[in-house]
Structure 1
Amino acid sequence: MAAPNTPEFQISFPTPHIAHVEITRPKKLNSFSDSMFTQLGQVFTYLSSPDNLDVRCIVLSGAGPNFTTGLDLQAGLQAAQQDSTKDLFRQNLETQKLIQRWQDDVSAIAKCTKPVIAVMHGYCFGLAIDIASACCIRIASSDAKLSIKEIDIGIAADIGTLSRFPKCVGNLGWVKELAYTGRTFGAAEAEKHGYVQYVEADKESALKKALAVAEQIAGKTPVGIRGVKDVLDYAVDNRVEDGLRYVKVWNGAALQTGDVKEAIMSGMEKRKARYEKL
C-alpha cells in the first residue's frame, strides 16, 4: 500500500517504531474539508497495513498552535448539499451515506492495530473530540480549549463523540452537560474527569510527553501490545464473561510466540528486549 501523499496530513518517523501524524492545514485552524476525512482514513489504514510492521505506536497532533477546530462549515455544507430533484427519502439516504463515510474514516483510528496517542493543543472543537476519543491515550497542553460544539449548529455530534466520549470518562452527567451546552472546557477539567491522561505546559512539552509514552509502548512486545489493545477494545463493548473468553483464546496463541521468552529473558538479563516484526 502506497503512503498517502497529501499536503493536509504529514507522516514522519521521529524515532524507531514511532509514527507522528500531523494535521497540516494551520491557516484554516486545521479544520476539516470533506476530502480530509478520506485522507485521515487512508493515513491510519496505511499505518495499520503490512507495509508498516515496524510501526508500534502513533502520535497524532496538529501543525501550528491548534489541534483542529473541527469541520470546515463551508466545506461541510457543500458536501452535504442535496439534489433537489430527489425526494426527501432519497435525500435523507444521501445524507446518511455522507455521515457513514465520515464515521468510517474517523473509526480507522480506533481500528488501527497500533496504539494512537492524541496531543490536544489550542482549539480542540467538535470533530477534535470525535478524533481524540477514537485514540487510546490523550495528552493535552495547558492552553487546550475543548468543546462538543455540534449543539451550536443544531445537531447531535454524529462522528463518534456521543458513542466514544462517555466511555473515556466515568461521569455521564458531566458528558451530558458538555453535550447539551457546547461550552468550552480546559485541559485541567478534562484531566480531572479522566479524559486526558497528562496536562503539559505547552504544545512542545505535550508532544515531548507523547513521544516519551510512545517510546515506552514501542519498547514492549508487539504481540503483547496488540493483544492488550484488542482485548481492551473488546471488553469495553462486551460482558466480563465474554472478555475473559476472548483473552483466553488470544493468550493461547500469544504464549506460543518468541516474544514471551524474549520479554522474560531480557528482564532477567537486564538488557533491552529485541522483538521481531508482527
Structure 2
Amino acid sequence: MSASVSPGPTATGLAPNPTMPVQVGNPDAPLLGSAATIGQAGLLAIVWIFFSAATFFVALRLTVRFRQNASFLSDDYCTAFAWLCLLAMSILQTVQMPSLWYTAYLMAGRIAPDPDTLFNAFPIIKLFWTALWSVKASFMAVFFRLVWPFPVHRRLWYCVAVFAAIAYIGCWLSSILSCNTPADYFRPGKCNSPHEIWVQGFSVIYSTSVDIASDLMIMALPISLLPSLHLDFRRKVGLGIAFSLGLVIMSVYIVRMTKLISGGTRVDIIGLAIWGAIEPAVAVIVGCLLPLGHLCAEEL
C-alpha cells in the first residue's frame, strides 16, 4: 500500500516532494540517509561537541584579547554574538530532537508530522544565518583596520559590506516568502504546491550562493593587499594562508549543499541537522583563528 506524504518545509526551508509515493508500513523499518547510521544520542553529541569546541576557541580568543588590551574590539563583539546565536541554535536543536526523529521515523505518512518541528525549524534557520553573518562581520571588522590606509581598498570594503548586508536580508526574505501564505510555513501539509517547492529550492540555492560569494569577497580584500606590502615572500605566503581560512567554512557549505541535492526528491533531514549544527560551529572556530594567531604571537 502506498500513499503520498506532505510533511511541509524542513529546517532548511526545502520541502520533500509531496507527490513522491512512499511505503506505509512498519514504523520500525530501517531508516534512510544519515538516520540509518546516527541515532538521536549521536546527533545530540555532535551538536554539543561542536558547540563546546567553538566555546573553547571563543573563550580563548576573548581571554587573550582582554589580557593584551584590557578591552574588547568590534570583531570580538561580533564573534561573541555569533556564539550566542550558536548557543540558541544548539538549545533549539536539542528541544526539537524528539520531533525531528519522530518525523524521520514517520516519513512514510502513517502519522502527520509533529507541528513542533516546523515551529522550531523557523528560528533555527534564522539563527543559522545570523551566526554565519556575525562571523563575516567579525572578519570585516579585522580587515577594516588593514584596508583603512588604502583608499581604493577601503571603498571596496564598503561595497563588500553592503553586498553582505543585502545578501543577509535576502536570506530572510527568501525564507519568509517561500510560502504563498507565510502562516502556512507552520502548518504540516501546507506550503507544498509546485511553485512553493520551487521557491524553497531557490531559497536554499540563493542563501548558499551569496554565503560563498560574500566569503570570497571578504577573503579577497586582504589578499589583494599582499603584493603592495613590503614583506618577504615567506611572510606573504603565510598571511595569504591566514587570510584564506574562509575556505574551511566554504568546504563545509559545499558538503551541506550536497545533502540537499544528492537525495533527489527525498530530503535527508537528519543529515541536514548534523551539518546545520557543524557549519556555524566551524565558522565561529575559524573566525577565532586569525585574530587568535596574531594575539598569541604578540603574547609570545
Q: TM-score range by the shorter chain?
A: under 0.3
Output the TM-score relative to the length of structure 1: 0.27
Quick check: which one's helix share is greater? 2
Normalised TM-score (structure 2): 0.26
Return the index of the structure with the highest Cα Rg: 2
Query: Comparing both structures, which one devotes a greater share of its residues to strand?
Result: 1
